[in-house]
Chains A and B, each alone.
Chain A
């Protein structure tokens, strides 16, 4: 188990380093970052001054290692636009995004798992059709459009929920539904497929034969085994959702890290963008690492294989 964990940890660190290199290189895709910061009307001497000030005149690898080691200490440089340390800016906004992510994944799990189980228990029944219908709808509906439709219905027509802001719990209802519905179809399908497979297994027949109640068979014997792949999918979806929060937060003007990402991209604030790409990637890497460990702990075959 320790060897497996160390191997996975090494892989996670390597992936993080590669992502950091890619996200740092983004800055140089525009050609000359110094003239991008200076703006269109800057003189050549201004651009030169900015180049030395930010150290763009040094070789690429020197700049990268410098940035990386500062990042390891939690220093992502100054934001060009907000004129504040990037780390403070992000730390300030991250709690909103984390809260939204947790609400979103909880909403997705709380709707997808019961629906998936119910659909698997009675294939082709009404509830199975309903689950399939909801998941097909969820996969085809653009999440930003779904958000706007919710605003039109619940904020403009019914006046129940605020369309934007992040001051009270009411501001989180619609973003949670939009973000959760985005993750729901995949989790529902996997739960249903897993339950269908498990319900045909021999040990379920044994459990029924020895007289266990149907509830006990479902939850104690079947769901426990069907839920293992769902855990790792939920971890992956959580990582994707934090990355996808940029769309949802910009619709509902929820001032989290996703909104910050959109603001800083629109304003060419590259240090903030680089740091955010790295941090969102890091969330994904940590979630998948933890779910790998959890799965290896639950299922010894993974450790060996």
Chain B
């Protein structure tokens, strides 16, 4: 009670100091404010929750189903999923045209999508960040060269080039990951270039230069921590991009090859029978949609939370 403090004979200045200190204690810490922003952002909470569930499913797939995603059972082909008549309680989501358990293929398929998304985003992130940081930090000729390379990359049709290269090298999980990683660095380079440009002339960077820090040290310990939030946002969005592209390549028959349980491949195999059994394409399609939705909401949410002024 400020009034009672004043009344009890304390000096006016003293009372004001106590009030300021109390106000500081009462106001939330930066960490608490960040937590409040995160949990107040429904999209972000949804994204984190769903993505965590999918990662857990991918990690513990063998514990969640007793079926093997590769084992064929020609006696039990095309069993319908649980909501349709004539389903088999042993195969909750039915079986495909080779009698493989659809639930097992769906659960193991999460591993393929997540691995492709994560590793492709990592490769393209390393390439794009190196190029973008170099362009943003050094400017001048380096910037000209990097900007030119970004322009060349943007001009090339991603799907077409990826399809052609995978067709030449032969489709496999590793080839698809590397090809996507080598193609999707453009947004990393664009965003890193402009965010590094914004911080490279700030006082603390100049201070580090003045005390004689080496370039790698300035970049790693002065610049990178301040552009990291942008990097993470781009990484999530590119991960979603890579997952969608893998699905499209596998759907067109020039990505991950059978019998790998890729969701894109499952849709491609189900396409032959979608006339009579539309659930064959509905199940993997919905899984793909939910995964990409969760990653996108996570990325959008992180952008809103780390830079509330950029909300748009």
How many residues of A are in contact with the other chain, CB < 8 A? 51
Knowing A142-B285, A277-B156, A284-B157, the reply to whether A136 touches B163 (Cβ < 8 A) is: no
Within 8 A of B (CB), among A87-111: none
A243 close to B (CB within 8 Å)? yes
B158 close to A (CB within 8 Å)? yes
B159 contacts A246, CB within 8 Å?
A: yes
Q: Which residues of B contact A239 (CB under 8 A)?
A: 155
Query: Which segment, of B3-11, B135-143, B289-297, faces chain A?
Result: B289-297
A19 contacts B155, CB within 8 Å?
A: yes
A145 close to B (CB within 8 Å)? yes
B248 close to A (CB within 8 Å)? yes
A268 close to B (CB within 8 Å)? yes
A15 contacts B271, CB within 8 Å?
A: no
Contact residue range for chain B?
35 or more
User: How far is B167's CA from A243's CA once the two chains are assembled, in angstroms?
Assistant: 17
A265 contacts B248, CB within 8 Å?
A: no
The total of Cβ contacts below 8 Å across the A-B interface reads: 135
Q: Which residue of B lies closest to A279 (CB)?
A: B157
User: What's the dominant secondary structure at chain A's contact region?
Assistant: helix
Query: Which segment, of A189-197, A198-206, A293-301, faces chain B?
Result: A189-197
The answer, among B165, B267, B312, for a CB contact under 8 Å with A145, is: B267
Q: Which residues of A contact B148 (CB under 8 A)?
A: 11, 14-15, 18
The 4 closest A-B pairs by CB, nearest first: A243-B157, A193-B312, A140-B293, A145-B285
Instruction: List 11 extra interface pairs beyond A243-B158, A277-B156, CB under 8 A.
Output: A11-B151, A23-B161, A136-B297, A139-B292, A141-B292, A145-B281, A149-B281, A193-B312, A243-B160, A244-B157, A265-B163
A-B residue pairs in contact (CB < 8 Å), sample of 25 = A11-B148, A15-B152, A23-B161, A29-B168, A30-B168, A137-B293, A139-B296, A141-B289, A141-B292, A142-B244, A142-B285, A148-B281, A149-B282, A156-B275, A196-B312, A243-B159, A261-B163, A262-B252, A265-B167, A266-B253, A277-B164, A280-B157, A281-B155, A284-B154, A284-B155
